[in-house]
Structure 1
Amino acid sequence: MANIASVTLEVTDTAAADRFYTAAFGLGAPQLRLRASEAPTTGFRGFSLALTVAQPADVDSLIASAVDAGATVLKPATKSLWGYGGVLRAPDGAIWKLATSAKKNTGPATRRIDEFVLLLGVADFAESKRFYVSQGLAVAKSFGSRYAEFESGPAEGPGGGPVKLALYRHRALAKEVGVTPEGTGSHRLVLGGDAADFTDPDGFPWETTAQAAAS
């Protein structure tokens, strides 16, 4: 079964981005990698990254440290039917969602990340879902033509193991994270996995894990 082993964010200042992600979320290699890029990009880049945690206190703690490190709040953390969460934009422009299915705290915040999820906003949901299945990813959950989540490998450490991949329709994802759907230029994102190099129908590139680590 194919997996996402890492995501590489292309940023203008790798040192600044590394400082941010270390201070905000305690994230780094192997799951999150950074690469220098000056590729033009404007507006919504077509994806968001999500960190799933155990309880609201962890959401609040991660949001607070991210804001202190320079993030901008797109959606304040609030309760909803599905749990509790909020959305941020990192200084490099990437959008992050912090969420939990729990609505009440059971103890102090631990800041442990249970899952690291990449949400791709796709133009043709059915086509993208078929494409990823053809690349060897197995569907774990699917809700009509709105959302699909693929299986990932076993958890291996603070980021929840391999990055979990999920698909949304492009406009639905933009609405979910609180931005307009328009955007141009580079996604500023590269996925690293155990499959051969390829580019998906929406222009998101994949590299072998070894290539991603070497870049």
Structure 2
Amino acid sequence: MATTTSTAAVTSLASVTLEVADPEAARRFYTAFGVEAYLHLRASDTHSTGFRGFTLGLTVSGPATVDGFLGAAVDAGATVLKPATKSLWGYGAVVQAPDGTIWKIATSAKKDTGPDTREIDEVVLLLGVESVKATKQFYVARGLTVAKSFGSKYVEFAPGRSCPVKLALYKRRALAKDLGVPTDGTGSHRIVLGTTTDAFTDPDGFTWQPAV
């Protein structure tokens, strides 16, 4: 008798949706910030306090462009959590949007050798997780491909075909420290990841739903 082998559907990140109290106000902010093309927005009043366990990061070409995006965010109503400074890894700043989402703007370049281009090289959704190893295994089992891995500290997955945002994992406590916020948080993450397969929830409570 012939046998068949079932293969689990392969997951990929198809979209990123932020749940916000006021979608129109959020849309105005993200348009002024210059990142509206990377996001979907939907109304939500679900309970959420403290650190939501993730950040969205912009990688740009140089310090002038970091300053340009930082200035645009602040002018549109963002709060500066970390002012733009040089570090071991380059130059960057951290802001919190009016809807509560935390954004990191960074470049690996320390010297300002060019003008503000207002161009984004890469957008990364960084999830703060309790166990990078366990969550990595969970996503690999669902079909995601690891692009970069630094032991139990950081994992980056290969991007999906339909979404310009990369997905990465970092320890929750380390991520909060990097962003300059307390680790504690309760309630909804206020973010929904679009999937090319059926809905599921990861080990840290991040929700994936079929992308519209």
Give the TM-score, by structure 1 length: 0.90
Residues 92-140 of structure 1: CA deviation (Å, up to 9, x unaligned): 0000000111112332111111111000011122211100111111111
How much is the aligned-residue C-alpha RMSD, in angstroms? Answer: 1.4
Alpha carbons 2:131, 2:152 under 8 Å: kept: no
2:16 is matched with which residue?
A: 7
Q: Secondary structure at the match of 1:167?
A: strand
Spell out the pairing of 1:7-156 with structure 2 (5 A cutoff): 7-24=16-33, 26-29=34-37, 31-153=38-160
CA distance in 2, matches of 1:170, 1:64: 28
Q: Whose radius of gyration is greater, 1 or 2?
A: 2
1:183 pairs with 175, 182, 185, which one? 185
Query: What's the % identity of the aligned pairs?
Result: 65
CA distance in 2, matches of 1:112, 1:2: 29
CA distance in 2, matches of 1:125, 1:167: 6
CA distance in 2, matches of 1:116, 1:86: 15
Q: Secondary structure at the match of 1:148?
A: strand
Amino acid at match of 1:115: E
1:164 is matched with which residue?
A: 166
Give the TM-score, by structure 2 length: 0.91
Amino acid at match of 2:151: G
Structure 2 unaligned blocks of 5 or more: 1-9
CA distance in 1, matches of 2:87, 2:186: 31
2:6 is matched with which residue?
A: none
TM superposition shift of 1:192: 1.0
Give the number of aligned pairs.
Answer: 203
Amino acid at match of 1:20: F
Alpha carbons 1:3, 1:162 under 8 Å: kept: no
Alpha carbons 1:133, 1:139 under 8 Å: kept: yes
Alpha carbons 1:78, 1:85 under 8 Å: kept: yes
Q: Secondary structure at the match of 1:61?
A: helix
2:176 pairs with 174, 179, 187, which one? 174
Alpha carbons 2:78, 2:98 under 8 Å: kept: yes
